[in-house]
Amino acid sequence: MLVVRGVIETMSEITYGERDARGNWRPAEPVRLPPVHARPFEVRPFMTWLFGFPGFLWPQNAFWLGLTLATWFWLTPELATMATLEPGWIGLILVRNVGLLVLLFGGLHLYLYVLKVQGDRLKYTTKPFTTGSRQFLFRSQVWDNVFRSVVFAAPVITTFEVSTYWLFANGFLGLFEVSSPVAFWGWFGLLLVLAPAIHAFHFYWGHRLLHVPVLYRAVHAVHHRNVEVGPWSGLAMHPVEHSIYFSTVLVQWVLALHPINMLFQLQIAIFYAAMAHTGFEKIMLGRKLPIDNNSYFHYLHHQYFECNYGGGLVPFDWIFKTAHDGTAQAHAAMQRRMRARHPG
C-alpha cells in the first residue's frame, strides 16, 4: 500500500484513462519528456513539437507573448515617465496586474468550475473545493486562494515590474553593448524563446529550496494546503514564496536589453501558474482546439509532495530521480523512497 497524507491507496485501485469509484481520473498515457530530450534525438518529432499546432510555440506561448506585447504597448506608461517613482503610474500597474489576475485566473475558474463548460471531462477528481476548514481564510479554499492572489501576489508582481522599469529608465539595466540593430533584436528574440526554459530552471531550484523543512513549514505549506487544485491555487502562496517564485525576473536584469523581455518572463510565471493548477489535463475550446496545459505532472506533486518539483522542459526531476510520471511503477518507486526516508 502507498500511504500519502493519511490516504491509503493500493496499486490495484489505481485506474488509468477512466474514473474510479472515488471520483479520481488519470490520463491513460504516462507523462513523457518533450522530444527535445529524446535520446537518440530525432529531428521530425522535435520540429513537430516545436512548430506544430498545438505545440510548444503555438498556440499557448504565442498567445502569452501576444498578451505581453499588448500589456507593454497599451497598458504600460512610457519608459521615460517611469524614471521617477510616483504613486500614479505605480498604482496604474498594480490595478492592471490585479485586473490581469482576475481576467485569467477568474476566467479559467468561471469556465471550468462555475459554468462547467466541459463538465468533468479530463478532470483529475470530482472532489469539491474545501469549505468550512479553518486552514483556509474565510473557511473557503477558493476565497482564500483569490485573496492570496490579489492581495499578496499582485503587489509582489508589481514590485518586481516597477523596479525593473525604474532601473531601465535610469540606465542601470540593459547595459550590454551590441554592434548593430540586428544583434540587438536577435538577442531580444532569443531571450523570448528561452524565457520558458529560464522559468523552468528557476522554478525547479526555487521549488526545491521551498521544500527544505524550515522553509516548507514556515512558507510553502500555505500553498500545499491546496491538495485538490483549481486555477486560483496557482498563486495561493505565502508572500515570501511569491518573492522567490517571481525572482526569475532577476535573470532578465542580467541578460535583457529591453524591458519587454522582463515583462514576458514575469507574465509567463503568472500564466504558467494558472495553467498548471487547472485540475484538468486539457482545456477544451471546441473539439479541434484542446489546450494541453501539462498540468498532470504538477498535480501529482500536490498529491504526493516529494516528487515533480519542476517540469519536463528542464528535466531535473528525471536527472535527480524525483519524477513521477503517473504510472504504477512510479507509485511503487515513490513508496520505496518514502519508506527509506521515513522508516517505521
Q: Above 80 in pLDDT, residue 261?
A: yes
* Model confidence, pTM: 0.93
Using the predicted structure, report yes or no on whether residue 11 has a pLDDT greater than 60. no
3 state SS of 88: helix
Helical ranges in 213-315 per DSSP H? 213-215, 221-224, 239-246, 249-255, 259-276, 296-304
Largest CA distance in the chain: 65
Report d(CA 41, CA 31) in Å as an integer.
Answer: 18
Residue 14 pLDDT? 55
Tens of pLDDT, residue by residue over 154-203, are: 999 999 999 999 999 999 998 777 789 999 999 999 999 999 999 999 99
- pLDDT tens per residue, range 266-291: 999 999 999 999 999 999 887 767 78
Cell digits for 92?
Answer: 496604474
Task: Examine the pLDDT at 316 and tell me if it is beyond 60.
Answer: yes
Measured between alpha carbons, how far is 67 from 219 in angstroms, rounded to an integer?
Answer: 31
Among candidates 203, 175, 207, 211, which has minimal Cα distance to 268? 203
pLDDT in tens, 43-73: 999 999 999 988 899 889 999 999 999 999 9
Helix (H) or strand (E) holding 3: strand 2-4
The one-letter amino acid code at 257 reads L
Q: Considering only residues 20 and 3, tell me which one the structure prediction assigns the higher pLDDT.
A: 20
Please give the average per-residue pLDDT across 96-123, as a whole number.
97
